[in-house]
Amino acid sequence: MEETIDVLLATYNGEKYLAEQIESILNQTYKNIRILISDDCSKDNTREIIKEYQKKDSRIHAYFQENNLGYIKNFEFLIKQVESNMFMLSDQDDVWLPEKIEKSAELMKRENADLVFGDLEIVDQNLKTINPSFNEYMLLKRKINKCIKNYKVNYLYNCVTGCTTLIKSKWIEKILPIPSNSKYVPHDYWIGIMIALEGKLAYVEKPYIKYRQHGNNQIGTDKISHKFTKLEDVRNLFINVKLGVFGTFVENNSRFLGPVQDLNLKALRYYKMLQKKKNFNFKDWKIFHQLYKTETFRYYIENFIILNLPFIGKILFKIRHCILKILGKR
C-alpha cells in the first residue's frame, strides 16, 4: 500500500492558475495524498476556488489565514500541519505531470534519501516551452551531482528548487523555524542546506513540473553577466548576495554543525572585507579556497579574479563584452 504523502500548497491571489495546479495534483498516479492549502489573505477569488475543490475531494484540507504571513511563514505554517512521514511543497501556478509524486517516492525509497529534488521545464503562461531544463538554464546542472554528495555545494548555491522536493518529515524539527528576514535565503535554500548538512539528497533527472512564467513570476531571461557592462556591478551584486546569505547563516549559527559555524563567521568576514577592497586582495584567500575548492578549475579561477584581482578582471570583462557585442549577443 502507498504511504501517505502531504502536499503543501501556499496561496496568495492565485485565482488565474490555481485550479490548473490543483487539478494536476489531484490527477497524480500516486493517489494516497493529503493536500494542505493555506491561503494568505488573498483579495481575489482564490479562497472561493479552494472551497469549491474542498467540496469535490476529501483529500483537500484548507486553512484561511486572518493575518498576512508572507510566503515563507505561510509555508512554515503548512509544514507544522504535516501528519504524514513525507511531504512536498507546491507553488500555486505550475502544472505537475501525472507521475511527479510517484517518481519522487520511488527514488526516495530506492536511494533511502532524506530529500528528493529535480529539474523543471520552463513554460510561458500558456504552457508553451521556453526552456526544457531550468537547471541547465540557470547553470546548475554541473553543480547537481556535487550538490547531492557534498553539502558545501548546496551551501554556496541554491541547487534545490522547493516545488520539486519530496522531504522526510523527520527533518521538520531541524528545518523550523525558517529565517524570513533575508531575500537571499528563500525557504527552499534553507531546507536544502539544513538537510544536506547531515542527510542524503537524491536527484530526479527528468522534469516533472511545468514551471510557469508570467507577469508575477519571472526568472531573468538574461544571465547576470550579460546584464552588466562593468565588472564592478557584477562584483558588487555578487558580494551583496553573499553578505545576505552568510549574514543570515551567522544570525542562525546555532542551527549549523560546529565546523560550519566557524566557516559561516569566516565567510561573512571575508565578504565584508572584499566590499571595502576594490582592486587587490590576497588576505584571507584561504577562506576563498575553503568555499570554492569543490568547484571546477575554470570557475574557481574566474571567481578568484573577480573577487580578489578585479583590476585584472576588468580588462578581461571588457574584452568579453566586446566579443559578445560583435557576435550580436547583447
Strand-strand pairing, 201-204 and 115-118 = parallel
Class of the 5-212 domain? alpha beta
- Beta-sheet strands, E only, within 70-157: 86-90, 95-96, 115-118, 121-123, 129-131
- Please tell me the predicted confidence (pLDDT) of residue 292: 87
Give the count of beta carbons closer than 10 Å to the beta carbon of residue 61. 15
Angle at 326 between CA 323 and CA 327, to 5 degrees: 85
Strand-strand pairing, 5-11 and 33-39 = parallel
- Burial label, 93 (beta-carbon count in 10 A; 0-12, 13-18, 19+): buried
Question: Taken in order 237, 241, 242, 244, is the CA torsion positive or negative?
Answer: positive
Average pLDDT, the chain: 89
Whole-prediction pTM value?
0.89
Strand order in the sheet with 115-118: 60-64, 33-39, 5-11, 86-90, 166-168, 115-118, 201-204
Q: How far is CA 266 from the centre of its chain?
A: 24
Q: Would you say 82 and 8 are in contact if contact means Cβ atoms under 8 Å apart? A: yes
DSSP 3-state assignment of 190?
A: helix
For the chain, which residues make up each domain, given as ranges? Answer: 5-212, 224-326
DSSP codes of every residue in 266-323: HHHHHHHHHHH--S---TTHHHHHHHHTTS-HHHHHHHHHHHH-HHHHHHHHHHHHHH
Amino acid identity, position 242: K
Please give the chain's pLDDT, 330 residues, in tens: 789 999 999 999 999 999 999 999 999 999 999 999 999 999 999 999 999 999 999 999 999 999 999 999 999 999 999 999 999 999 999 999 999 999 999 999 999 999 999 999 999 999 999 999 999 988 887 788 777 776 666 678 888 999 999 999 999 999 999 998 888 999 999 999 999 999 999 999 999 999 999 876 655 434 444 455 677 888 899 999 999 999 999 999 999 988 899 999 999 999 999 998 876 777 778 899 988 888 888 888 888 888 888 878 777 767 766 776 777 654
- Please tell me the predicted confidence (pLDDT) of residue 249: 96
Amino acid identity, position 44: D
- Burial label, 184 (beta-carbon count in 10 A; 0-12, 13-18, 19+): middle
- Please tell me the predicted confidence (pLDDT) of residue 68: 96
Residue found under cell 565567510:
267
DSSP 3-state assignment of 265?
A: helix
Give the count of beta carbons closer than 10 Å to the beta carbon of residue 140. 19
CA-to-CA separations, 133 to 128, 129, 237, in angstroms, rounded: 13, 10, 25
- Please tell me the predicted confidence (pLDDT) of residue 234: 84
Residue found under cell 544536506:
196
Q: Would you say 260 and 154 are in contact if contact means Cβ atoms under 8 Å apart? A: no
Strand partners, 204: 118
